Amino acid sequence: MITCQTTIDDKIVYIIYKHYLKTHRQISISNNFVGIAGIFLMLMGFIRVTHTIFFNVTWQFYDFFMLFVFLCGLYFFLSGLFFTPKNNLKKIRNRYLNKNQKSITVEYVFNTEGVQINQSDSKLFYQWPALKQVWDLPDYYILEVNPGRYNLINKEKFRNEDYFEFQNLLKQVLASEQYKKSTH
């Protein structure tokens, strides 16, 4: 059993927020079906509508339908850009700290079954397969326990022998797609 305590304050919340922005872009058009479909529909509709307008062709049902397709594509694209739920720094801070709190101390207990997270008001246990990702940053480990929910572990808070045991435990229990080593 490996234990580690980390103090979460505004500086740590900001690090988590920066990591959130790196890993969860607002819209990733290459990976987002709605964004790709929106662009495709906009292009198809735009081509047909501009053809109808510039060549003075009489508007047929198909032309009105393609105008509708263009507007739907524009809606899908803009909804992917602007209407997705956003996590700003204040929302992420409120997840970890109450309004009057300056910092909290979180204790992590690691074993082969999972990780237990002890705070002053709650105790949570996550089995290793339930963790979405573990990022190995130069000074911290970041555990993603739910999409958009992170826990940060300060590497300096480990005792030397616990740090190496923890690294071995991560290699042993996590699948390669869950463990990501970061060099930045």
Specify whether 125 is located in the same domain as 150.
yes
Q: What is the mean pLDDT of residues 40-44?
A: 87
Residue range(s) defining the domain that contains residue 55: 33-82
pLDDT one-digit tens code per residue, 61-106:
988 998 998 888 888 777 767 665 566 677 777 777 777 778 888 8
pTM: 0.58
Q: Span 170-182, mean pLDDT?
A: 68
Range of lowest pLDDT (14-18, 113-117, 160-164): 160-164
Q: Residue 183's pLDDT is what?
A: 47
Query: Which letter, b or e, does each residue of 15-54 get, where b requires 16 or more Cβ atoms within 10 Å of its Cβ?
Result: bbbebbeeeeeebeeeebeebeebbebbeebbebbeebee
Residues 59 and 134 occupy one common structural domain: no
Considering 20-29, 111-120, 142-151, the range whose residues carry the highest mean pLDDT is 111-120
| Residue 136 bridge partners (DSSP) | 141, 181
Report the chain's mean pLDDT, rounded to a whole number. Answer: 77
Structural tokens at position 100 = 């009057």
Number of domains in the chain: 2
CB-based contact 125:143 (threshold 8 Å): no
Residues 155 and 97 in one domain: yes
pLDDT of residue 147: 67
User: Which comes out higher in pLDDT, residue 97 or 47?
Assistant: 47
- Who has greater pLDDT, 184 or 39? 39
17 and 53 assigned to the same domain: no
The residue length of the chain stands at 184
Pair (95, 132) in one structural domain? yes
pLDDT for res 137: 78
145 and 165 belong to one structural domain: yes
177 and 107 belong to one structural domain: yes
Domain edge (last residue) among 58, 82, 106: 82
